C-alpha cells in the first residue's frame, strides 16, 4: 500500500483505518507508554520535521511490524511533528513545515482537500480526569469527518484583522445587558401566520442608541478585550448604528477589539432569522454571523411568570424565525470560536457533536431569559459543554425579565452574565470549573464578577495546547 507523504493527509488516512473498537480496550493506554511505540513515534516526528513530509516506506515498515500498535505509533509521531505549527502551542515555529503552515494560515485547516473532511489543531481538552477514552482523546489534532464538516460554516480571521494573544493568556470580557425593561422591546404573541407564534425585537429608540454609545465607552475604559450583548437587541438599523459608532469612536491603544453586538431579526427573509453578529471594534466590520438554530417555544406558564406584556397567553407560542442550518466556526488567534443563541444551548443535539469534533475553544451564548441563577439551566448546559470540550462559555442576558419579575432588583442571587471554563489544565479532578457570575443593574453597565472578594470583569483564557493532555513523551535521541 502506498501512503501519502503529506503529513495531514497521512494522519487522516491512518486515523480512519485504525478501528474505533481498538479504543474500547485499554491497549492504547499501554501503547502510549510503550518504549517501542515512543521510539517509532519519535522516528516519524524527526523525519517529518526534517524533510517537511513523511516517509511512506518508514510508515509502512512500522505498521507491518506492529499492525494497530504500529499505526498508533505513526499517528503519535505525526501528532508530535505538527505540534510546532499549532497556533496555540507556546513554542510555535514552523521549521521545514512551511507548506502546512501556509495552508493553515490561508484556509484554517491542515489538509489540502476537504473531500474526506478536515484536520484541525487542538486548543482545548475535555474538562474531566484523563483515562481510557475515545480515539480523539489520544491526539493533539482533531479529525473532522466529511459528514460533520457539512454542518460547519468554517472561516478564518486573518491575524492582521484581530488582536494577538499568547497561548493561555487571560482575556477580559465585558457583558452589558443593554435592554432594561419591556419598554425596550416589542413583543407580539399573536402573529397571523397560521400557527401560534410570537415575535420579539428591540425598540430602535434614541435612548437605546445612547445606551449603545455608553456601552462602547465603558467597554473601552474598562480594559475589556471583547464585549458581549445579549439576545433580542438587534434590528438592521441598530446593527448599522453599532458598526458606525464603533468605527466613529475607534482609537488605537484601547484594548477592546471585538463586539458581539447581540442578536435580532435581521435581513429581508420572511420570517427573518434571529441572527447574532460579531464585529471588529476598530472598523465596525462583521467578523462572524450566526443564525439561531432552534426556535424557542414560550409556554403560557413562562409568559405569566415573566410578566410578558399583552395580557395572559393561554397557549404555547413558538418563536417566528427562519432557523439556521449550519453553525459558523471561526479560527482566530484567541481560539476556535462559535456562537449559539439561547434555546440552542438547551437543544444542543443539533450542533454539539460537530463542535466537539472540531475542537471548539470558545462559545458565546447571548440569551433572553429570566435571570441567570447558579445551578440552573444555563450553568448545567455550560457544565456539560465544558466537560465535553474544555471550551470557555460566555453567556450574556438582559435585565428585561428580571426587572419585570422583581422591579426593585432586590433578590441578590441573580446574574446577568456567566463566564465559565476549566479551572486549570491538569484535568485531574472532576470539580475543575472556573465559575464567574457577573451582575449589572443598568443596561449600559458591565457585569462584574467577584474574584477573591473583588468585583472585576470576568476573564477567559486564550486557547492553548498542553503536552500533558496527550502525554506526549519527551524527545529522546532518535536512533
Q: Would you state the cell numbers that stand for residue 366, as one nine-digit string?
A: 447571548
Residue 353, pLDDT score:
94
Q: Would you state the cell numbers that stand for residue 428, as one nine-digit string?
A: 485531574
DSSP 3-state percent helix, strand, coil across the chain (nearest 5): 35, 20, 45
Strand partners, 396: 366, 417
C-alpha angle 256-261-264 in degrees, rounded to nearest 5:
175
Q: What is the mean pLDDT of the chain?
A: 94
DSSP class of residue 359? T
Structural contact between residues 432 and 337, judged by C-beta atoms closer than 8 angstroms = no
What is the SS3 assignment for 179-196?
Answer: CCCHHHEEEECCCCCCCC
pLDDT (mean) for 151-169? 87
Give the 3-state secondary structure of residue 459.
strand
Give the 3-state secondary structure of residue 356.
helix
Task: Give the separation between CA 127 and CA 141, rounded to whole angstroms.
Answer: 17
CB-based burial, 436-447: b 16+ in 10 Å, e otherwise: bbbbbeebbbbb
Residue 411, pLDDT score:
81
Task: Give the separation between CA 147 and CA 401, rounded to whole angstroms.
Answer: 39
Task: Give the separation between CA 387 and CA 368, rounded to whole angstroms.
Answer: 24
Query: Where on the phi/psi map is residue 75: left (φ > 0), alpha (ψ -120 to 50), or beta?
Result: alpha
Handedness of CA 118, 425, 450, 250 (dihedral sign): negative
Q: How confident is the model at residue 260 (pLDDT cuts 50, 70, 90)?
A: very high
What are the domain boundaries of the chain?
7-141, 159-461
- Model confidence at 312: pLDDT above 70: no
Looking at CATH, the fold of the domain delimited by 159-461 is given as: Nitrilase/N-carbamoyl-D-aminoacid amidohydrolase (3.60.110)
Structural contact between residues 311 and 335, judged by C-beta atoms closer than 8 angstroms = no
- Model confidence at 477: pLDDT above 60: no
Containing 45, the helix (H) or strand (E) segment is helix 35-51
pTM: 0.96
Q: Quick count: other Cβ atoms within 10 Å of Cβ 163? A: 19
Task: Give the separation between CA 126 and CA 465, rounded to whole angstroms.
Answer: 12
Residue 478, pLDDT score:
40
Q: Quick count: other Cβ atoms within 10 Å of Cβ 186? A: 15
Task: Give the separation between CA 418 and CA 420, rounded to whole angstroms.
Answer: 6
pLDDT, tens digit, for every residue of 346-387? 999 989 999 999 999 999 999 999 999 998 999 999 999 999
DSSP symbols for 150-167: TTEEEEE--GGGS----T
pLDDT (mean) for 396-425? 94
- Model confidence at 479: pLDDT above 70: no
Closest among 359, 341, 248 to 291, alpha carbons compared: 341
- Model confidence at 473: pLDDT above 80: no
Task: Give the separation between CA 83 and CA 74, rounded to whole angstroms.
Answer: 14
How many angstroms from the chain centroid is the CA of residue 2? 38
pLDDT (mean) for 72-90? 95
- Model confidence at 118: pLDDT above 70: yes
Task: Give the separation between CA 278 and CA 288, rounded to whole angstroms.
Answer: 5
- Model confidence at 161: pLDDT above 90: no
Q: Would you state the cell numbers that stand for residue 250, as one nine-digit string?
A: 475607534
Q: Would you state the cell numbers that stand for residue 79, as one nine-digit string?
A: 501528532
What stretches of 169-249 adopt beta strand conformation (E)? Answer: 170-175, 185-188, 197-202, 226-228
Task: Give the separation between CA 16 and CA 143, rounded to whole angstroms.
Answer: 9
What stretches of 340-411 adopt beta strand conformation (E)? Answer: 362-366, 392-396
Amino acid at each position: 500500500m502506498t501512503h501519502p507523504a503529506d503529513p495531514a493527509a497521512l494522519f487522516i488516512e491512518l486515523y480512519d483505518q485504525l478501528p474505533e473498537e481498538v479504543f474500547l480496550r485499554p491497549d492504547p493506554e499501554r501503547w502510549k507508554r510503550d518504549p517501542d511505540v515512543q521510539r517509532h513515534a519519535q522516528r516519524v516526528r524527526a523525519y517529518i520535521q526534517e524533510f517537511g513530509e513523511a516517509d511512506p516506506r518508514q510508515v509502512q515498515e512500522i505498521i507491518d511490524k506492529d499492525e494497530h500498535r504500529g499505526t498508533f505509533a505513526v499517528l503519535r509521531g505525526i501528532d508530535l511533528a505538527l505540534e510546532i505549527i499549532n497556533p496555540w502551542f507556546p513554542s510555535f515555529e514552523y521549521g521545514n513545515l512551511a507548506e502546512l503552515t501556509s495552508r493553515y494560515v490561508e484556509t484554517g485547516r491542515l489538509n489540502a482537500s476537504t473531500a474526506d473532511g478536515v484536520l484541525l489543531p487542538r486548543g482545548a481538552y475535555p474538562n474531566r480526569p484523563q483515562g481510557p477514552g475515545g480515539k480523539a482523546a489520544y491526539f493533539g489534532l482533531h479529525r473532522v469527518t466529511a459528514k460533520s464538516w457539512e454542518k460547519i460554516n468554517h472561516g478564518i480571521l486573518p491575524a492582521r484583522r484581530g488582536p494577538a494573544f499568547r497561548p493561555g493568556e487571560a482575556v477580559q470580557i465585558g457583558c452589558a445587558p443593554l435592554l432594561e425593561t419591556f419598554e425596550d422591546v416589542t413583543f407580539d404573541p399573536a402573529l397571523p401566520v397560521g400557527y401560534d407564534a410570537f415575535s420579539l425585537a428591540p425598540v430602535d429608540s434614541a435612548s437605546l442608541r445612547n445606551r449603545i454609545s455608553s456601552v462602547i465607552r465603558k467597554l473601552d475604559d474598562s480594559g475589556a478585550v471583547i464585549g458581549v450583548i445579549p439576545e433580542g437587541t438587534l434590528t438592521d438599523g441598530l446593527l448599522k448604528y453599532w458598526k458606525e459608532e464603533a468605527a466613529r469612536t475607534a482609537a488605537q491603544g484601547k484594548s477592546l477589539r471585538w463586539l458581539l453586538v447581540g442578536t435580532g431579526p435581521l435581513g429581508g427573509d420572511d420570517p427573518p432569522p434571529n441572527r447574532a453578529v460579531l464585529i471588529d471594534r476598530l472598523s465596525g466590520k462583521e467578523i462572524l454571523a450566526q443564525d439561531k438554530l432552534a426556535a424557542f417555544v414560550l409556554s403560557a406558564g413562562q409568559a405569566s411568570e415573566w410578566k410578558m406584556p399583552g395580557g395572559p397567553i393561554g397557549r404555547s407560542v413558538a418563536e417566528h424565525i427562519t432557523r439556521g442550518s449550519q453553525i459558523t466556526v471561526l479560527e482566530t488567534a484567541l481560539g476556535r470560536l462559535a456562537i449559539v443563541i439561547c434555546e440552542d444551548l438547551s437543544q444542543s443535539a443539533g450542533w454539539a457533536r460537530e463542535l466537539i469534533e472540531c475542537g471548539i475553544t470558545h462559545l458565546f451564548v447571548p440569551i433572553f431569559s429570566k435571570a441567570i441563577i447558579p445551578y440552573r439551566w444555563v450553568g448545567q448546559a455550560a457544565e456539560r459543554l465544558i466537560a465535553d470540550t474544555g471550551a470557555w462559555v460566555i453567556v450574556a442576558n438582559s435585565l428585561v425579565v428580571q426587572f419585570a419579575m422583581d422591579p426593585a432588583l432586590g433578590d441578590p442571587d441573580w446574574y446577568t452574565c456567566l463566564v465559565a471554563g476549566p479551572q486549570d489544565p491538569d484535568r485531574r479532578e472532576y470539580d475543575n470549573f472556573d465559575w464567574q457570575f457577573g451582575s449589572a443593574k443598568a443596561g449600559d453597565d458591565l457585569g462584574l464578577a467577584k474574584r477573591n472578594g473583588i468585583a472585576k470583569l470576568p476573564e477567559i483564557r486564550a486557547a492553548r495546547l498542553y503536552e500533558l493532555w496527550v502525554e506526549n513523551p519527551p524527545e529522546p535521541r532518535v536512533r
